[in-house]
Chains A and B, each alone.
Chain A
Amino acid sequence: MKRIFEIVWKDISQTLRSPMAALFLLALPLMFTAFFGMIFQGVSDEDAALDKPVVALVGEEESTAILPQLQSLLTETGAVSVEVFGSNEFPDPLALFEAEEVDAVLYLPEHFRFSLQDSAPAILYVDENSSKGQTVLYTIERVFSQEQALYSTSAAAVQTVDEQLPYASDQEYQMAFEQVLAKANQAWSQRAVTVSMERAVTATTDLSRIESAYDQSSPGMLVQFTISGLMGTAVIFVQERRTKTLQRMLTTTTSRSSIIIAHALSMLFIIVVQEIILVLSGQFLFGVDFLREPFAILLVILAFALWVSGMGILIGVLAKNEDQVVLFSLIAMFLFTAMGGAWFPLEGTSPAFYNIARYTPGAQAMQGFQNVIVRKQGFSSVLEPVGILLLYAVLFFSAAILIFKKNKE
């Protein structure tokens, strides 16, 4: 037992002496967490609100009555800023892109109305491939769809009345339609059915703590850099073989099993410490609610660390030199991080990818962390992912031990 601990201590001190250790184990994950957190925060809140796309609204003289209405409807959405221009001022609407700082131009032709039967379509000049262009297009389509629905609603109401009690003239019909349309617009603000969006969290959850831009990046980067961090420890295993230290150890009474257990324990210790530091940084630097269920998080940390250690030992056994350790570790990192949903949520991926990726160890670790920090679930919610991670750990350790025992170096 004493020998095992001596090897463990040697491995730990050897790993921590390297400047790479501090970089890969702590500095890079914290930097990436902050970086991705800033990006998603910037995308979602104030910056986006301040940087609204500007839409120039241009109408022919006969359509000017509808301009204030459209301006008000588009402004009310809060997604775009609207500036109105007369077509006499800009006969060529495209000239507005040169003359003014606008992201899109919405041109209303003569006699434009939200009627499918008797109106030429409005023309929206926009770069559909830009993010602002997408916002503009989505907002205008939504407003058009709503106004078109109200227009057709009013038209259908007046037509039904006309069939029962015909209007005396087209003029009377038109006047009735205008009145009904005005009432429909008024009634829309108090429409009967709306939609409420609610998060599936328990009633006692503190909702003010749910929104954190770091909820995805903090566990994601923890998963990524825990895997990449095994480079430093796996390389020791290879160095021992290359420098014949392993062979020297094997001439002593230390068994092959003791050596591999010792290396695994040192990896496990380093990874657990790394994960705990990253979890505490996530909690106190980035406001991610890891500690609402500390024992559940600790269990995920231990199970994930066990699997990563198993993979580290397997890489150490398989690699012939330090370069191969770096190569195999990087490939493992890319594979398990991307498939684990640490870079992007798996929900948006193709069915085949999703169905394979969701059972990978990275995805199980992400699920364990997110069940606690995002879904606000309790201790029992991490048991399934922890169980799967432990199975993976057994699988990887078994493979490593088998290969190591077969190696007669």
Chain B
Amino acid sequence: MKKIFTIAWKDLLRSIRSLYFIGISLIAPLLLSFLFSAAFGGGGESTAISNIAIAFVNQDVPPQGSPNLGETVYEIFHSAGLKDLITLHEVAGEEEALQGINEQDFSAAVIVPADFSQVVSGQGGTTHLRVIYDPAENIAPQVLESITATIANEFSSSKIMVSLAVEELQRRGGQASEQFYTDLVARITARSESQSGVTSPLLTVLNPQGQKEEARDEMQQIISIIMVGMMIFFAFYTGAATSESLLQEEEKGTLARKFVSPTPVRDILAGKFLGVLITLVVQICVLLVLSSLVFHIQWGEAGKFILAVIALIAAAAGFGLLLMSFLSDSRQTGIILGGVMTITGMVGGLFTSTIQNMPAFLGILKKFTPQGWALDLWQLVLNGAGYAEILFPFSVLLCMAVVFFIIANFRFQRRFAKK
């Protein structure tokens, strides 16, 4: 037993003394998580969507004596409520706006058409507020479409209200006086103010258990998911990279020297396997602690969290040993570490864990990789799932790990028995 621990300890020391190990196993996942965190405002900073640069072109030519409603549209976009979201730049014409978009000075332009006031204040007719946007952007156009549609609806419903009120008054034999119009305008203003909220007061939203959903920090969730994806990817990478020591020792002849000592092959292999497991324990523990401190990730209930750690370590070690058992020398490890880990990580959903509405076939494909099951298990733990829910992916991962260990052990035993 002592020999097993000596071999494992030597492998662990060899790993943690290597700059390569520290870089790949610890710095790379933390660097990536930090980049995502910085990109998506994990430090509490708002996202760039708070500063959408918009060009505003008012082509409105109101009828004689009527107010310029294009200016009202400008005022709404310029209002205090949208001040943080939109930075408005009034430009002379559509061409200037387009040039600004092409030069990426603006994300989009809002064009108020020449007939805007005429249509809104006159009888019949339709017009449209045009939003011209940079086709390389996705979020800003959606936000702007939503805001512009709200403004357009406000003008449309106000026009409907005036015409219906006048029609109703006339139906009852009355005549629309100046006071009547003044009252209508006052009501339009009051109505606009009362409907300024984002969520309808006529809708109460509860979760499928009939409870009020606790407000969760969406950004924190995204960072947690990204960190989990990176941790799983690099754990599997480390599992394989650490198992490579078997091939390296075989090539250098140090393994052969161990075989001539009074140490059984199974003890040597057990020591090497244990070395991989302990290295992974160190890596995962450091990553979990650092990510908790740096990104304030809440890893969930201790019991479930420990189960997820055990399953991840076992699967990553087993998979790494299995892959190395199929290689004849360490020159082939580059392609395995680079290719197989990247492809299985990709299929397992580690790089796309934050994308919603993924095609269904990818959900099936990921079940063929241990990384996919590990991701499912960690997502359940992060979402606060019960023990019954996490039991299945946990069992599958452990079964996979056992099968990988058995095959790897069988192959290595057979290989070294010939020596």
Q: In the complex, which residues of chain B have a beta carbon less than 8 angstroms from the beta carbon of A161? A: 165, 168-169, 172, 174
Least CB distance from A215 to B in Å reads 8
Q: A residues touching B (Cβ–Cβ < 8 Å)?
A: 19-20, 23-24, 27-28, 31-32, 35-36, 38-39, 41-43, 47-48, 51, 94, 97, 105, 114, 116, 119, 121-131, 134, 137, 140-141, 144-146, 148-150, 152-154, 156-161, 163-165, 176, 179-180, 183-184, 187-188, 190-201, 210, 323-324, 326-327, 330-331, 334-335, 338-339, 344-354, 357, 367, 370, 374-377, 381
Q: What's the dominant secondary structure at chain A's contact region?
A: helix
Say what secondary structure dominates the interface of chain B.
helix
Interface residues of B in 199-249 (CB under 8 A from A): 199-210, 213, 216, 221
Given A43-B358, A349-B39, A349-B40: A192 touches B183 (CB 8 Å cut-off): no
CA A145 to CA B131, docked complex, whole Å: 22
Contact of A200 among B98, B126, B339 (CB under 8 A): B98
Task: Show the binding face of B for A, using Cβ within 8 Å.
Answer: 18-20, 23-24, 27-28, 31-32, 35-36, 38-41, 43, 45-51, 98, 101-102, 104, 107-109, 116, 119-120, 125-141, 145, 148-149, 152-165, 167-169, 172-174, 177, 179-180, 183-184, 187-188, 190-191, 194-195, 199-210, 213, 216, 221, 334-335, 338-339, 342-343, 346, 352, 355-360, 362, 383
Q: Is the CB of B194 within 8 A of A152?
A: yes
Q: Assuming A152-B195, A327-B19, is B164 touching A187 (CB within 8 A)? A: yes
- B205–A126 touching, CB < 8 Å: yes
On chain A, the residues within 8 Å of B45 by CB distance are: 350-352
Question: What's the nearest-Cβ distance from chain B to residue A116, in Å?
Answer: 6
Contact of B48 with A350 in the complex, beta carbons under 8 Å: yes
A377 to chain B, nearest CB (A): 6
Residues of A within 8 A of B141 (CB): 197
Distance A229 CA – B149 CA, assembled complex (angstroms): 47
In the bound complex, how far is the Cα of B157 from the Cα of A219, in angstroms? 45
Distance from B219 Cβ to chain A, minimum over Cβ atoms (Å)? 10
Known: A338-B32, A347-B137. A148 touches B119 (CB 8 A): no
Is the beta-carbon distance between A324 and B20 smaller than 8 angstroms?
Answer: yes
**Known contacts A125-B206, A331-B28, A348-B49; A196/B130 CB under 8 A:** yes
Q: Which residues of A contact B135 (CB under 8 A)?
A: 199-201, 210, 374-376
Q: Please, which residues of chain A bring their CB within 8 A of the CB of B164?
A: 153-154, 157, 180, 183-184, 187
Cβ B352 vs Cβ A39 within 8 A: yes
The residue of chain A having its C-beta at the shortest distance from the C-beta of B210 within the complex is A94
Residue of B whose beta carbon sits closest to that of A145: B200
Cα(A334)–Cα(B233), bound, Å: 14
20 of the cross-chain contacts (CB-CB < 8 Å) are A38-B362, A39-B352, A43-B357, A51-B357, A121-B204, A122-B204, A126-B205, A137-B205, A153-B158, A153-B160, A154-B161, A157-B164, A184-B161, A192-B159, A193-B153, A198-B132, A330-B23, A331-B27, A347-B49, A347-B138
Chain A minimum-CB-distance residue to B173 = A165
Partner of B35, one of A187, A339, A370: A339
Quick check: A122 and B360 within 8 Å, CB to CB?
A: no
B48 interface neighbour in A32, A156, A193, A351, Cβ under 8 Å: A351
Q: List the 3 closest pairs (A to B, CB-CB), nearest first.
A: A42-B359, A131-B356, A191-B156
**In the complex with contacts A38-B359, A51-B360, A345-B138, A121-B346 CB distance below 8 A:** no
* Structural contact, A128 and B205, CB atoms closer than 8 A: yes
Chain A: minimal CB distance from B331 (Å): 9
For B156, the closest partner residue in chain A by CB is A191
Known: A180-B164, A375-B135, A375-B136. A140 touches B358 (CB 8 A): no
Residue of A nearest to B120 (CB): A192
* Contact residue among B145, B188, B204 (Cβ-Cβ distance under 8 Å from A197): B145
Give A363 to B122 CA distance when docked, in angstroms: 49
For the complex, what is the distance from the CA of A323 to the CA of B185, rounded to whole Å? 74
Q: Are A330 and B40 in contact (CB under 8 A)?
A: no
* A165-B169, A346-B48, A348-B47 known; A123 vs B107 contact (CB < 8 Å): no
Whether B137 and A345, one on each chain, are in contact in the complex, defined by CB atoms closer than 8 angstroms, is: yes
A120 CB → nearest B CB, Å: 9
With contact pairs A125-B208, A196-B131 given, residues A116 and B201 touching in the complex (Cβ less than 8 Å): yes
Cβ of A210: which chain B residues have Cβ within 8 Å of it?
135
Q: Looking at the assembled complex, report how far the CB atom of A88 sits from the nearest CB atom of chain B, in whole angstroms.
A: 19
Residues of chain A lying within 8 A (CB to CB) of residue B179: 164
Complex: how many Å from CA A165 to CA B166? 12
**Are A153 and B191 interface neighbours, CB within 8 A?**
yes
Given pairs A27-B339, A159-B187, A200-B134, 20 additional interface contacts (CB within 8 A): A19-B335, A20-B338, A127-B207, A127-B208, A148-B202, A156-B188, A183-B167, A191-B126, A191-B152, A192-B127, A193-B119, A196-B129, A196-B130, A330-B24, A338-B36, A345-B137, A347-B140, A350-B43, A354-B48, A377-B102
A179 CB contacts on chain B under 8 angstroms: 168
- In Å, the complex CA distance between A382 and B159 comes to 47
B200 in contact with A148 (CB, 8 Å): yes
Q: Which residues of B contact A201 (CB under 8 A)?
A: 135
Whether B205 contacts A43 by the Cβ 8 Å rule is no
Chain B, residue nearest A366 (CB): B136
Partner of A31 from the list B195, B216, B338, B343 (CB cut-off 8 Å) is B343
